[in-house]
A = this chain, B = another copy of it.
Amino acid sequence: MRLRELRASDRSTLEALIRGTEAFNAEEIDVALELIDAGLNPASGYRFIVAADERERALGYACYGLTALTDGTYDLYWIVVDAALQRSGVGRALLEATHAAVRALHGRTIVIETSGKPSYASQRFFYERCGCTLLARYPDFYRVGDDKLVYLLKID
């Protein structure tokens, strides 16, 4: 596996990965694809890191960017790994590469939002294993019974 920039030719593979996780609803998939389209233009501010295999096929990606109106705070908008490769280290490699990229940009903190639903337990466990700390829980944020959890990953 290697990490590289986003390419236009990744789009259909990434769409299949996103759908294959079965973690996202139709609206979330639309947003994820909009960000991919935006991210192909570096001026958009949406930055991508793609994990690819030795044949250049995308295995997952991270999407992040500077949070508007802040100096040094970055949002991790999206991190997706091929459903067949969960818990294989691809997600951790993407998160570590995002951390390194944000440090190189003189960022201070990465903010990560995720769901408190039981079905997101593995995502929360992943962030906690990777050194993220839970900052806040917004009750019923996404919908009734679906809290928003906010994790911080500090750049040391």
**Which residue numbers of A lie inside 8 Å of B, CB to CB?**
27-28, 31, 67-73, 108-109, 111, 135-136, 138, 140-144, 150, 152
Complex Cα spacing A135 to B70, Å:
20
Contact of A109 among B67, B108, B141 (CB under 8 A): B141
Residue of B at shortest CB range from A113? B69
Q: List 26 A-B contacts (CB under 8 A).
A: A28-B69, A31-B68, A31-B69, A67-B141, A69-B142, A70-B142, A70-B143, A71-B142, A71-B143, A71-B144, A72-B140, A72-B143, A72-B144, A73-B138, A73-B140, A73-B141, A108-B140, A108-B144, A109-B140, A109-B141, A111-B138, A135-B136, A136-B136, A136-B138, A136-B150, A138-B152
